[in-house]
Structure 1
Amino acid sequence: MLRARPLHFTSRIEDWNRFLTALGLVLTEGDGGFRVFDSAAGRLVLHEVPDGDPRDGTTAFAVEVGDLAEFARRTNESAAGEGATPAELVTVDHGEACRITGPDGFSFLADPAAHGAQCADADPALAVVAVWFSPDPEAAARTLRHVGARPRPNPDNDETADFTAKNGGILMVRPASGQPRSGLGFEYDGGLEPLRERLAAAGFPAGVTEEAFGSTLHVGNPDAAVFAASVPATVWISERRAMG
């Protein structure tokens, strides 16, 4: 199995709790400083950190899988033709995991899934999107193929790549200069105006931007008070693109 499960660090966990609930995700694990939210496709974890923590307002690209050893074996077998072994079983502060490292030096964790089924009460149109910004997007895309992500058509230029995870969520590769980094967003399979109204009613006004291949909602980031270059001003929810 493979599911998108990015990890977001924040000192404003209650604001994020309200935002994700208004967006249509459902809290399925935890109620303190570690909370797991289900969408219809993919999960998002909130990890509370103190105000001023260098991780505050950042997101770690991450996935969850079934059997860690089997996932590592299959990933390395897929990459063997390149002479690469990108997956390594590791012990981290929260337990056993698998670390995947791309040719650009970017690494992310695959954690064992605590439960398999997505929450049926989540908004059925919403998906969690984890983004890998890389100076070598082609190599990053190959790594995601090795872990079992499924390519999907992308109308953008050749340096971008979109993938779906078999058990929910979307993984994206986007070109970027400098050090590789991760990002967070959402995708909505339907008209954005009702979602915009729902967010506004919950105290999260959003603006709609018309783009070449669809519309995108931009909502004020609950972490906006974190004054750091790595913290974006808004959280985006893109309209799912119909591929002709």
Structure 2
Amino acid sequence: MTVVQQILYTAQPERWWTLAEALGFVAPFPPAPEWAEFHADGVLAVHGATDEHRPGVTEIHLIVEDTDAAASALAAFDVEAMTMEGVGEMLVVRAASGVSISVSEGAVQRGAGEIAVQPIWFQKDLTQPRAILEALGFRAGIAADRGGWTEMLCDGGSIGLHAGEPRIGLSFEARGDLDARAARLRDAGFAASVVDEAFARTIRIADPDGGDEIWINGVQDDMHGYHR
């Protein structure tokens, strides 16, 4: 089983706790300013900003059942094994673009609920990130006919591969009534609006750290220019 953990670094952790709960995530243990987790379909981790990780930085961490099996599956890629305090053995996988993701062993339940993490892995050539994720058990979902987007699915959460300058972007996917979810966000003190995009409706809210707007995408229902 593979579960996506989207790690957000922030100078406003308490505001993010409120936002996570308003979105529909549930904290399995009391949050702390340095680290908090919120579970639904995948995991949102809220990490206090550091000198190395400024507010708004997003990372992709994958939780797997067996890091030895993951290391074997990733043998063809640039992988470094390390030990992190509080996490244990961890793998860091680096793409040729410079983007890296991390992998560790853990027990997280299969994705549940109507809100999911969907971090976006941007880089110009999506061939290598897709191969890395497929080696870890991901499967392709909806993809753009022209090759600029592929949704990669696993047991908890998903990752979007998007053509662009190399980076990891913060994103979510929501099922169900987006208008009702936006109303809950407004009740929690967030200025949320629902926008009709070409591929689906999305909720837009201001970033508590002052960065780019946060997107919560509805399930894609317009397949013009896309395929499964």
Question: TM-score when scaled to structure 1?
Answer: 0.83
Question: What RMSD in Å do the two structures reach over aligned CA positions?
Answer: 2.0
> Within 5 A, what are the aligned runs for 1:209-224?
209-224=195-210
| Distance in 2 between residues matched to 1:53 and 1:143, nearest whole Å | 25
Question: Contact (CA 8 Å) 1:13, 1:48: kept in 2 or not?
Answer: yes
Identity %: 27
Report the equivalent of 2:39.
Answer: 38
**Residue 201 of structure 2 is aligned to residue 208 of structure 1:** no
Report the equivalent of 2:160.
Answer: 172
What are the superposed Cα offsets for residues 65-118 of structure 1, whole Å, 9 maximum, x if unpaired?
A: 111111111232xxxxxxx333332223443201112232321111222x3325
Report the equivalent of 2:78.
Answer: 86
Q: CA deviation at 1:141?
A: 1.8
Amino acid at match of 2:174: Y
| Distance in 2 between residues matched to 1:185 and 1:29, nearest whole Å | 23
Unaligned runs of 5+ in 2: 224-228
Report the equivalent of 1:227.
Answer: none
Question: Contact (CA 8 Å) 1:26, 1:119: kept in 2 or not?
Answer: no
| Distance in 2 between residues matched to 1:156 and 1:215, nearest whole Å | 20
Question: Contact (CA 8 Å) 1:3, 1:43: kept in 2 or not?
Answer: yes
| Distance in 2 between residues matched to 1:119 and 1:173, nearest whole Å | 20
Q: Say if 1:169 and 1:56 are closer, same or farther in 2 by CA, change over 3 A.
A: same
Q: CA deviation at 1:149?
A: 1.0
**Residue 22 of structure 2 is aligned to residue 19 of structure 1:** no
May I ask how many residue pairs the two structures share in their alignment?
221
> Within 5 A, what are the aligned runs for 1:16-165?
16-32=16-32, 33-39=34-40, 41-49=41-49, 54-76=53-75, 84-94=76-86, 95-113=88-106, 115-117=107-109, 124-155=113-144, 157-165=146-154
Amino acid at match of 1:36: E
Question: Contact (CA 8 Å) 2:111, 2:156: kept in 1 or not?
Answer: no
**Residue 186 of structure 2 is aligned to residue 197 of structure 1:** no
Q: Say if 1:67 and 1:54 are closer, same or farther in 2 by CA, change over 3 A.
A: closer
Runs (4+) of structure 1 exceeding 6 A deviation are: none
Unaligned runs of 5+ in 1: 77-83, 225-230
Amino acid at match of 1:172: G
Amino acid at match of 1:183: G
